[in-house]
Amino acid sequence: MYFKENWQSMAEKEPPFGHVDIFQTSTRDRHPRRPASNLPITAKKGPIHMKIENQVTLEFPSRSANEGFARTAAACFAAQLDPTLEEVNDIKTAVSEAVTNAIIHAYPDTLGKVVLKLRIREGHVLEIVVKDWGVGIADVEQARTPLFTTGNEERSGMGFTIMESFMDTLKVRSAPGRGTTVTMARKISRRAGR
């Protein structure tokens, strides 16, 4: 685990990819249980351009025990936004799915590096980035299809669908042999009187 003080300059300079599939959606119009947020949708090839108010970067090996660590770290970091219990549970679930994908699918036969970047952006927006340097995804759109999995019969194939249902935006960048970057964002509602 480590914290990078000069993280913003590093965050905007993703390593170059050869072939990159980018797929981004906004789920705010499909959530009957959550009101639409005012979270801006980014261009398909650009970062979210909102001022960063706080950030942290965690790096850990792709061991299954670290999934719980990542989930808890994200919830603790998000706590400064004073989220509701439902929002905390949504964040933990989305992070759990993204990190589990990196552990199970990116490094199926070996240990590798997983990076979790957490940012608080202006407007009460939590941005979560999960990056690996594993096997990558050949067809991101197919991988995002519900019930599609490259894992064994124990895997449900619902990881991206679950992430999409709990976040306002989801972007997946991947290249075979070069890894995958999952970027999610969620606007945390401000509570009355705060």
Q: How far apart, in whole angstroms, are the C-alpha atoms of residue 192 and residue 183? A: 29
**β-bridge partners, 61:** 113
6 as an active site residue: the answer is no
Contacts of 74-79 with C-beta under 8 Å, sequence gap 24+, read 74/116, 74/118, 74/128, 77/118, 77/120, 77/126, 78/118, 78/126, 78/188
154 as an active site residue: the answer is no
User: Of the listed 101, 121, 127, 144, which one is catalytic?
Assistant: 101
Look at the block and give the residue holding tokens 């009460």.
124
54 as an active site residue: the answer is no
User: Of the listed 28, 67, 87, 97, which one is catalytic?
Assistant: 97
- Active site residues per annotation: 97, 101, 155
